[in-house]
Chain A
Amino acid sequence: MDLINAIILLLNYIFVPALAYGSQLALGAIFVTLIYGILRFANFATGDMMSFGTMFVILFTLYFKSVGISLGVLPTALLAIPFAIILMVGYMLVIDKFVFKYYRTKKSPPVQLAMVSIGVMFVTQAVVRIIIGPSDRRFFDGEKFLIKAGEFKEMTGLNEGLAIKSTQVITIIVTLILVSTLFWFLNKTKTGKSMRAYSDNEDLALLSGIDPKKIVMITWVIAGILATIGGALYGLDKSFKPFTYFNNMLPIFAAAIVGGIGNPFGAFLGGYVIAFSEILLTYAYRKFFMYVLPESMEPDGLVQLLSTDYKFAVSFSILVIVLLYRPSGIFKGKVL
């Protein structure tokens, strides 16, 4: 019985939140990796592009609410996402046309493109803050919990409750659908294959008649979809604040590099690696040991490896270690 309690405890406080957070990071990390693999630069505007997409989701959600459209138990934001994606992709293509295209055709070094992306970061950040303001926003509606902790306890008769938020389930399901579609697209369709070829060897791809303009456009479209959905899921689960989104860029980068930058599958797993290690290392295991160990051996302290203040620092340390010992990431990167 105690063992089951202990497992439920870990499920409730570590596994489920880490899975949801990891999915959100994974989407961002695939976004970073796609840009890196095909357009060949580190995009420092990642966090702000995600907040830009989320801003549209919020605006559409507000509009739908004002005209009385809702999805019942599901959050209205899900309905808003497709419309937001259209605008977001438009924005991406405009940015590409007026900013990135020039450097791409000039074949500038990746460092210069990264610098340019900092300019884009500033502009995007300003636009988001001017349109929607810098404050914290919650735009979740519908049923909040799938399983409530109290109900779970009653149902099973255990001491520990398991609470599953509907946003967590939505996050995981949407991520799985999106990511599997993306992998199917990259591996099975002709366009996807040509994208991979382009990422592997640009010159050879051009020689075999692949249209670079098309590849770049499709990359931005996929990137827009990923950024909007990733941002919206994070905002639904937690809350939307431009500054937090900007900061999220850091664990996202960590996830992308840990997984092997340029490798979407690595980025996908990297998101979970980062999320799980952050939560595993900063969780206080006292209660867990109280269940597992006999009474005489119960620990006095919190049995916490690191204080929660160091949550971000954990993921960055992992990244630094990975960079030093395996710069190409856990899964070999550089190629889609």
Chain B
Amino acid sequence: MRKNLNVIAAYSIMMGLIILVGTFQSWNIALSIFNLCLISAVMTMGANIQWGYAGLINFGIMGFTALGGLAAVLISVNPVQEAWSAGGANILFSLFLIIGIVLAVRLVLKKYQKSKIRSYVIAAIIITGIIIIRFVSEPGIEAIEEVNPARTGFLGGLGLPIIFSWIVGAFFAGGLAFIIGKVALGLRADYLAIATLLISEIVIAIIKHEDWLTRGVKNVIGLKRPAPYEVNLQQTDWFINLVEKFNSGKLNLISDLTERQTALNQLVIEGSSVFVKLCYSGLFLVVVIILLILTQKALYSPWGRMMRAIRDNEEAANAMGKNVVKQHLLIFVLGSAIVGIAGAMLVTQDGLFTPGSYRPLRYTFLIWVMVIIGGSGNNFGAILGGFVVWFLWIEAAPIGLYLVNLTTAGLDDTHFLKVHLIESVPYFRFLMMGVGLLVIMRYRPKGILPEKIEIK
């Protein structure tokens, strides 16, 4: 208990802040912050596994998040039958071609010794394969995109409940991580960072522009929900009764019947959106807790000790007979898969998939700020980082506004400096993040909750 005092204190302060937002601003805002904090926490856990446990830099978090989001679309949207009949055959054939190319390349790699001719043969296989795929897929893609372009124009998904996508998203992200890891993990730390950053941009470019698969920048809206809809809730009796019970004290003060009814309606509308958000919070909390238990178990297992050994001294670990390359690949895949889960959760919560909104600043660098501020190598720290940074990211604007008003109190309301500063309040969040990161890195380089090595 004593040892964990700082953890408990930090989390209580964080919860207190969110409750403060709930009481002073509104519960709706507080819960939406809380939900995104939970999603950020999942992302930071993924990044923390890679950076904190193994010392791998993954600046491609954005790409894995987007793949998770793509999984949500592909799982939950109903299949578009016309599109499938228009161009499905071509797409499936292209898919087989891709598999064929991969198998052919593997065969060549296995059968023949490394030589110049082998490299040329592989290059030739890939290039001819790509040309054939283009010829095969182009008519199919055009046909699919012509099917009702205003509403569908893509293949759609499987029509399953969206919650499955959380697992599928993990597999998607893990699969991509496997490919990236196979080719790029041998690079030096900063090269790996740049390579993953650029690969994630390629992933986003593909998601943005392959309309037949993802609808691209036209976005997919109205995804299924694992939680009830507000409109339906507002008409169910048990929910109205529940709201009535909760607010009976307030409602009993109103004697007029019609007035009471309108007040109740207002409360039901507010309550329904809070209730939906609570449903999401519950789901997300379950994911966070499961992941936390698993990652904690892993951290204190022999495997976790081996990972730390590899992180701290690769050569020594190698000399002890640990397969560094394999373990690096494994942890890269695991961490990315967790980020994929978070991506699917994010799209599930928003109910829409907008490829244009994936930007490295928000989905890669901010997550890194969270990990570093929270405390890398410590799961509780990483989660706390997700909470603190996301909370500040959202509340930076109000805080900034307050600070601007405070510092320019002496100035006239129409003074150009004050107007300008108030207009630029949204950008104070960048300033806060940057200064926060710099201060933490300088004065507490291990984060708010630093890594503790203890043998259990």
Contacts and interface: CB of A to CB of B under 8 A. Distances in A.
Interface of A: 41-42, 44, 99, 102, 109-112, 114-116, 118-127, 129-130, 133-134, 246, 250, 253-254, 257, 307, 309-310, 312-313, 316-317, 319-320, 323-324, 327
Given A41-B190, A129-B427, A99 B438 contact: yes
What secondary structure prevails in chain B residues at the interface with A?
Answer: helix
Contact of B206 (A120, A313, A324): A313
Given A130-B424, A312-B205, A323 B195 contact: yes
B205 to A, nearest CB: 4
B109 to A, nearest CB: 14
B372 interface: yes
A115 B441 contact: yes
A175 to B, nearest CB: 24
A317 B126 CA distance: 14
Contact of B434 (A111, A123, A313): A123
Contact of B361 (A110, A116, A246): A246
A323 B368 contact: no
A130 B372 CA distance: 25
23 contacts: A99-B438, A112-B441, A115-B368, A116-B437, A119-B434, A121-B365, A121-B434, A122-B365, A123-B430, A123-B434, A125-B430, A126-B431, A130-B421, A133-B423, A257-B191, A313-B202, A313-B205, A316-B198, A316-B202, A320-B195, A320-B198, A323-B191, A327-B187
B424 A111 contact: no
A129 B430 contact: yes
Nearest to A324: B183
B434 A250 contact: no
B376 to A, nearest CB: 10
B437 to A, nearest CB: 4
B75 interface: no
A119 B183 CA distance: 29
Contacts of B187: 323, 327
A323 B195 CA distance: 8
A300 to B, nearest CB: 12
Given A313-B202, A313-B205, A320-B199, A42 B194 contact: yes
A217 B366 CA distance: 30
B428 A250 contact: no
Most chain B beta-carbon neighbours within 10 Å: one of A109, A124, A130: A130
B428 A126 contact: yes
Given A118-B369, A123-B438, A111 B190 contact: yes
B442 interface: yes
Nearest to A321: B183
Contact of B205 (A125, A130, A254, A309): A309
Interface string B414-456: 0000000101100111110111011001100100000000000
Task: Give the 5 A-B CB pairs with smallest separation, nearest first.
Answer: A122-B434, A123-B434, A126-B430, A126-B431, A119-B437
B236 to A, nearest CB: 44
Given A119-B434, A130-B421, A323-B191, A254 B198 contact: yes
B441 A312 contact: no
Given A118-B368, A316-B201, A323-B195, A126 B442 contact: no
Contacts of B430: 122-123, 125-126, 129
Contacts of A102: 442
Contacts of A119: 369, 434-435, 437-438, 441
Interface of B: 57, 183-184, 187-191, 193-195, 197-199, 201-202, 205-206, 208-209, 361, 365, 368-369, 372, 421, 423-424, 427-431, 433-435, 437-438, 441-442, 445
B437 A130 contact: no
A104 to B, nearest CB: 13
Nearest to A318: B198
A111 B57 contact: yes
Nearest to B189: A111
A42 B438 CA distance: 16
A25 to B, nearest CB: 14
B360 to A, nearest CB: 8
B426 to A, nearest CB: 8
Most chain A beta-carbon neighbours within 10 Å: one of B193, B194, B197: B194
Nearest to A254: B198
B438 A250 contact: no
A257 B191 CA distance: 9
Contact of A253 (B194, B361, B369): B194
A133 B425 CA distance: 11
A126 B425 CA distance: 10
Given A118-B437, A119-B435, 19 more contacts: A44-B365, A109-B189, A110-B189, A111-B189, A112-B441, A114-B190, A116-B438, A119-B441, A122-B434, A129-B427, A129-B430, A130-B431, A134-B427, A250-B198, A253-B194, A310-B205, A312-B205, A317-B202, A324-B184
A265 B183 CA distance: 27
Contacts of A120: 434, 438
Contact of A129 (B199, B365, B424): B424
A257 to B, nearest CB: 7
B291 to A, nearest CB: 24
A127 B431 CA distance: 7
A318 to B, nearest CB: 10
Most chain A beta-carbon neighbours within 10 Å: one of B184, B198, B437: B198
A240 to B, nearest CB: 16
B184 A118 contact: no
B198 A253 contact: yes
A99 B434 CA distance: 12
B201 A250 contact: yes
A323 B209 CA distance: 25
A43 to B, nearest CB: 10
A115 B372 contact: yes
Contacts of B421: 130
A162 to B, nearest CB: 31
Nearest to A129: B427
Contacts of A312: 201, 205
B144 to A, nearest CB: 16
Most chain A beta-carbon neighbours within 10 Å: one of B187, B190, B424, B435: B190
Nearest to A116: B441
Nearest to A32: B194
Nearest to B423: A133
B332 to A, nearest CB: 16
Given A309-B208, A309-B209, A310-B205, A122 B431 contact: yes
Most chain A beta-carbon neighbours within 10 Å: one of B189, B433, B434: B434
